[in-house]
Structure 1
Amino acid sequence: MPSSRSLAALIGIASLGIALSACQDQASGQIVARSGVRLVETVSNPSIHGCHRFSEGVTHVNNQTQSSLLLYTTPDCTVPPGGQSTYLDIGATDQAVSTAGLWRSFSFAPE
């Protein structure tokens, strides 16, 4: 019986390790995007990799995840000539400045 308990413990530890490593590919929480007072979309537990596009341009972004964001006025997470991305910290909210344009995409800031 001791060998079956050891095997069960080993399988349990391996399963926990796999589950924890899988969670690292997602930002835990939500990103809430609004246009004025109208809710545009809520993104839950998004992947921390790549570029994420909003369904339409938004004026307000609320970062309710455990990771910092970069906001872009382009749909492909690129910085236009003469422009810049905007850093949005954990738990913060940002409003697009009218001269910069609407937020159209976001990515996660490198940690």
Structure 2
Amino acid sequence: MPSSRSLAALTGITVLGIALTACQDQASGQIVARNDARIVETISNTSIHGCHRFPEGVTHVENFTQSSLMMYTTPDCSVPPGGQSVYLNMQASDHAVRSTGLWRSFSFAPE
């Protein structure tokens, strides 16, 4: 009997370790993207890796995650010549400036 308890405990610890490791690859919380007053997309617990595209350009982003974002006017998270990205801190919101154009993508800022 003791060996089956040890095996069960080891299996439980392994599963917990895998679950905790997987959570580190996700931003806990929500990102709400709007175009004026209309919600375009609500994203929950998304991956912190790579570039994320909005389905259309957005004017306002609310970051209710525990991670900071970089906002881009391009669909591929690149900064166009003469342009810039916008840093959006965790638990903050911001509006796109009409002169720079709508936000089309975001990535998570390195921490």
Q: Which residue of 1 aligns with 2:54?
A: 54
Q: Which residue of 2 aligns with 1:101?
A: 101
Give the CA deviation at 1:61.
0.2
Give the CA deviation at 1:102.
0.6
Give the CA deviation at 1:101.
0.9
Q: Which residue of 1 aligns with 2:28?
A: 28
Give the CA deviation at 1:3.
1.5
Deviations along 1:1-47, one digit per CA (max 9) or x if unpaired, are 22211111111100000001111111111110001111111111111
When normalised by structure 1's length, the TM-score is 0.96
Q: Which residue of 2 aligns with 1:18?
A: 18
- Give the unaligned 5+ runs of structure 2: none
Aligned partners of 1:22, 1:39: CA distance in 2, in Å? 29
When normalised by structure 2's length, the TM-score is 0.96
Aligned partners of 2:22, 2:58: CA distance in 1, in Å? 30
- Give the unaligned 5+ runs of structure 1: none
SS at match of 1:78: coil
Q: Which residue of 1 aligns with 2:110?
A: 110
